[in-house]
C-alpha cells in the first residue's frame, strides 16, 4: 500500500483524514483512487482533464513528481505521496488594529 498524505487545508474533503492508504502502481493511479474515494478533492487536486492542478505540488518520498515522470511516476508499496497546495501571497496593504 502507498500512503497519501493530505494537507490540513484539504482534510474537510477527506472527513478529517490526514492520510489515506491506496493500492496503485503510479502517482496518477493513486490520485485517481483518492478522488474516487473522496470526490470533493477532484477539482482541488486534478483538473478536468485528470492532470495535476497547476497549483498543487506532489512529492513521492520527498521527490517532486514534476521532475520525474509526473503522473506516470511509478510507486511501490511503502512509498509516501505528499500533496502540497501552493500558497500564494503578496505585499498587500498592511492593516493595523487599534
| Model pLDDT for residues 3-13, shown as the tens digit of each residue | 999 999 999 99
56 has a pLDDT exceeding 70:
yes
| Span 63-81, average pLDDT | 97
Predicted confidence (pLDDT) at residue 36 exceeds the cutoff of 60:
yes
Q: With 70 as the cut, is the pLDDT of residue 76 above it? A: yes
* The predicted structure's pLDDT at residue 83: 97
Q: How far is CA 56 from CA 8, 9, 10, 96, in A?
A: 14, 12, 11, 32
CB atoms within 10 A of CB 84: 15
Can you say whether residue 62 is alpha, beta or left, with left for phi > 0 and alpha for psi between -120 and 50 degrees? left
Question: What pLDDT, on the 0 to 100 scale, is given for residue 98?
Answer: 47
Q: What is the largest CA-CA distance in the chain?
A: 56
Name the pLDDT band for 96 (thresholds 50, 70, 90): low
Say which CATH topology domain 2-85 has. Ubiquitin-like (UB roll) (3.10.20)
- d(C-alpha 56, C-alpha 37), whole Å: 19
Amino acid at each position: 500500500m502507498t500512503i497519501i498524505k493530505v494537507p490540513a487545508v484539504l482534510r474537510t474533503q477527506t472527513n478529517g483524514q490526514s492520510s489515506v492508504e491506496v493500492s496503485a502502481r503510479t502517482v496518477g493511479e493513486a490520485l485517481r483512487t483518492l478522488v474516487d474515494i473522496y470526490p470533493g478533492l477532484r477539482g482541488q487536486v486534478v483538473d478536468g482533464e485528470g492532470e495535476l492542478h497547476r497549483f498543487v505540488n506532489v512529492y513521492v518520498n520527498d521527490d517532486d513528481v514534476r521532475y520525474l515522470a509526473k503522473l506516470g511516476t511509478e510507486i511501490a508499496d511503502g512509498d509516501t505521496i505528499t500533496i502540497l497546495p501552493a500558497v500564494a501571497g503578496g505585499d498587500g496593504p498592511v492593516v493595523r488594529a487599534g
